[in-house]
């Protein structure tokens, strides 16, 4: 699926890079054409205070075009709204703004008639509709709402009602579309979701989306899109950060601050995290290490395509570097066991010895004698399911050895790994990856970081991380 994103180069610094933040128009979520020209005349945006309803409504208003929208405010004056959401100041300035805090329903309906009769206005936002409707008796409220529906239908303008009423009200039954914005707590971090409950006459490919209000702008995330590796760019080598090794990606360095020599970074992932998303965490450090003249050892995740991995690494770091200073050891393939002279039924200790020998061999070829080990614990767990204690023992030894030799160590382990908690306790850094509403999310547990959506906006091999706020 093609990512539904529009990159805003002005957002440098907001996420981790100029193109990392994908600014998307709300219309894209609804299906822009259907929303702007189709059967959706009236939309209700529901949600509790602070969930982002006004920003979403302003995005719809922005889509109307300059001078073709009106914002009817029953809560705040224009100046205050612009202070609350500075990123939308231009949108607010470009449209009619009606402050109705002290007006009654009759005046508001009259305003709406004045706006719609000339048929020049495309979108009117009522923020909030409750503010006004709560002053009316139930029957009177319903009739006022019906009047608005009739005005919307006749004028062709889109009416957007913002509501903080959590339950279903009379307007729920009248409008063509209902969207709800909610804030969900995920591991002590807030994730915003945009839920489409109803959209008459419009196909809804997905009901829930993750979105962020970073920089006061609405940005939604479509389902994770597998990167197109044919669009790989030339790898830009990243120097060490102070005394730390770069992780080969501005996004990852921004999140973890690089890797202190001798440290172990553990990456825990849910079973539904796509392999390409994990690869975007594992490959940039390897490519960068090789580009810097250092060496690396890679034990890929189960199911990895060795040829594809080698091809990506060769494109990124160069064929010579891959051939001379990288060892890909796929322990699940018998051929690899044969080539390393391991018996067909190897023990964790035999694999560990092989890794140690390779580390010694590759250390000699590394410009500063450092080696990066990127290892899938899941692959080893699958292989040594009956001897996990030994696996844990050799993994611990490896962490200590690499620590002493100032190497770098990245471990990938599944959420349900039986040795997870013990591995995590001896890891210096720890990040989690999981999927929600089709979007791959990532956050650091050790050190504690905010939560980010992972995409591939710049290069297929690198992650782009956009903070969810």
Residue 155 or 378 with smaller CB distance to other proteins: 155
Residue of 6, 10, 83, 114 that binds other proteins (CB under 8 A): 114
- What is the distance, to the nearest Å, from the Cα of residue 357 to the centroid of all Cα atoms in its chain? 39
Question: Which DSSP symbol is given to 308?
Answer: H
- Asked if residue 110 binds other proteins (CB under 8 A), the reply is yes
Distance separating alpha carbons of residues 145 and 174, to the nearest angstrom: 8
Please, what is the minimum distance in Å from the beta carbon of residue 158 to other proteins?
16
Please, what is the minimum distance in Å from the beta carbon of residue 173 to other proteins?
16
**Window contacting other proteins (CB under 8 A); options: 100-108, 160-168, 179-187, 241-249:** 100-108
Question: Which DSSP symbol is given to 233?
Answer: P
Task: Say what the alpha-carbon torsion angle 29, 33, 36, 40 is, to the nearest 10 degrees.
Answer: -70
Distance separating alpha carbons of residues 389 and 450, to the nearest angstrom: 34
Distance separating alpha carbons of residues 190 and 56, to the nearest angstrom: 17
Please, what is the minimum distance in Å from the beta carbon of residue 115 to other proteins?
11
Q: What tokens were used for 27?
A: 């219309």
Which residue from 390, 21, 415, 423 is spatially nearest to 218, judged by alpha carbons? 21
Residue 103 or 270 with smaller CB distance to other proteins: 103
- Asked if residue 154 binds other proteins (CB under 8 A), the reply is yes
- Asked if residue 305 binds other proteins (CB under 8 A), the reply is no
Please, what is the minimum distance in Å from the beta carbon of residue 308 to other proteins?
60
Residue 154 or 382 with smaller CB distance to other proteins: 154
**Window contacting other proteins (CB under 8 A); options: 51-59, 73-81, 137-145, 345-353:** 137-145
Please, what is the minimum distance in Å from the beta carbon of residue 160 to other proteins?
20
- Asked if residue 144 binds other proteins (CB under 8 A), the reply is yes
Which residue from 182, 301, 159, 278 is spatially nearest to 226, judged by alpha carbons? 278
Residue of 90, 140, 389, 416 that binds other proteins (CB under 8 A): 140
Which residue from 279, 433, 301 is spatially nearest to 380, judged by alpha carbons? 301
- Asked if residue 142 binds other proteins (CB under 8 A), the reply is yes
Residue of 37, 49, 139, 188 that binds other proteins (CB under 8 A): 139
**Window contacting other proteins (CB under 8 A); options: 101-109, 197-205, 288-296, 442-450:** 101-109
Q: What tokens were used for 326?
A: 């990288």
Residue of 147, 310, 347, 396 that binds other proteins (CB under 8 A): 147
Question: Which DSSP symbol is given to 216?
Answer: G
Please, what is the minimum distance in Å from the beta carbon of residue 12 to other proteins?
48
- Asked if residue 109 binds other proteins (CB under 8 A), the reply is yes
- Asked if residue 138 binds other proteins (CB under 8 A), the reply is no
- Asked if residue 106 binds other proteins (CB under 8 A), the reply is yes
Residue of 150, 168, 184, 400 that binds other proteins (CB under 8 A): 150
Residue 110 or 416 with smaller CB distance to other proteins: 110
Residue of 1, 48, 80, 113 that binds other proteins (CB under 8 A): 113
Find the helix or strand (DSSP H, E) in which 463 lies.
none
Mention every residue, 6+ apart, whose C-beta is less than 8 A from residue 448: none
Please, what is the minimum distance in Å from the beta carbon of residue 277 to other proteins?
51
**Total residues in contact with other proteins, by rule CB under 8 A:** 25
Residue of 79, 104, 271, 387 that binds other proteins (CB under 8 A): 104
Q: For 411-450, where are the alpha helices, taking DSSP H only?
A: 420-425
Q: What tokens were used for 333?
A: 């393939």
Cα distances from 321 to residues 290, 313, 316, in angstroms, run: 6, 9, 10
Q: What tokens were used for 366?
A: 């590394």
Could you tell me if 287 and 248 are in contact, meaning their C-beta atoms sit under 8 angstroms apart? yes
Collapsing DSSP to helix, strand or coil, 213 comes out as coil
What is the helix, strand, coil percentage profile of the chain, to 5? 40, 25, 35
Residues at the interface with other proteins (CB under 8 A): 104-110, 112-114, 116-117, 136, 139-144, 146-147, 150-151, 153-154
């Amino acid at each position: 699926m093609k990512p539904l994103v529009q990159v805003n180069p002005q957002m440098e610094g907001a996420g981790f890079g100029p193109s990392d933040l994908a600014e998307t128009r709300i219309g894209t979520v609804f299906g822009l054409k259907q929303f702007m020209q189709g059967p959706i005349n009236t939309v209700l945006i529901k949600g509790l205070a602070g969930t982002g309803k006004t920003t979403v409504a302003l995005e719809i208003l922005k889509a109307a075009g300059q001078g073709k929208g009106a914002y009817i405010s029953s809560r705040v004056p224009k100046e205050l709204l612009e202070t609350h959401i500075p990123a939308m100041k231009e949108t607010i300035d470009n449209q009619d703004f009606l402050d109705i805090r002290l007006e009654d329903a009759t005046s508001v309906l009259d305003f709406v008639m004045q706006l719609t009769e000339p048929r020049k206005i495309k979108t009117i936002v009522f923020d909030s509709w409750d503010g006004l409707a709560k002053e009316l008796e139930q029957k009177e409220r319903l009739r006022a709402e019906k009047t608005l529906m009739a005005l919307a239908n006749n004028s062709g303008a889109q009416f957007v009602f913002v509501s903080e009423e959590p339950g279903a009200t009379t307007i729920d039954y009248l409008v063509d579309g209902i969207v709800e914005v909610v804030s969900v707590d995920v591991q002590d971090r807030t994730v915003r979701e945009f839920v489409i409950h109803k959209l008459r006459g419009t196909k809804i490919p997905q009901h829930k989306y993750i979105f962020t209000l970073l920089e006061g702008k609405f940005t939604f995330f479509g389902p994770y899109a597998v990167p197109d590796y044919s669009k790989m760019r030339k790898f830009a080598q990243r120097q060490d950060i102070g005394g730390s090794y770069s992780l080969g990606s501005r996004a990852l360095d921004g999140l973890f601050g690089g890797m202190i020599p001798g440290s172990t970074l553990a990456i825990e992932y849910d079973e539904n995290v796509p392999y390409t998303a994990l690869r975007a965490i594992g490959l940039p450090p390897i490519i960068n290490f090789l580009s810097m003249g250092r060496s690396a050892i890679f034990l890929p995740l189960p199911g990895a395509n060795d040829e594809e991995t080698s091809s990506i690494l060769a494109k990124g770091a160069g064929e010579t570097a891959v051939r001379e200073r990288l060892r890909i050891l796929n322990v699940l393939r018998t051929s690899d066991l044969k080539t390393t002279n391991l018996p067909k039924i190897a023990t964790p200790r035999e694999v560990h010895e092989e890794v140690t020998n390779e580390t010694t061999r590759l250390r000699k070829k590394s410009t500063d004698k450092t080696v990066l080990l990127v290892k899938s614990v899941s692959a080893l767990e699958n292989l040594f399911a009956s001897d996990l204690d030994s696996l844990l023992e050799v993994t611990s030894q490896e962490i200590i050895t690499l620590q002493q030799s100032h190497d770098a160590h990245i471990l990938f382990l599944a959420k349900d790994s039986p040795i997870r908690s013990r591995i995590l306790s001896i890891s210096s850094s720890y990040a989690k990856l999981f999927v929600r509403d089709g979007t791959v999310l990532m956050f650091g547990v050790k050190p504690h970081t905010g939560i980010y959506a992972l995409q591939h906006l710049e290069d297929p091999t690198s992650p782009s991380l956009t903070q969810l706020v």
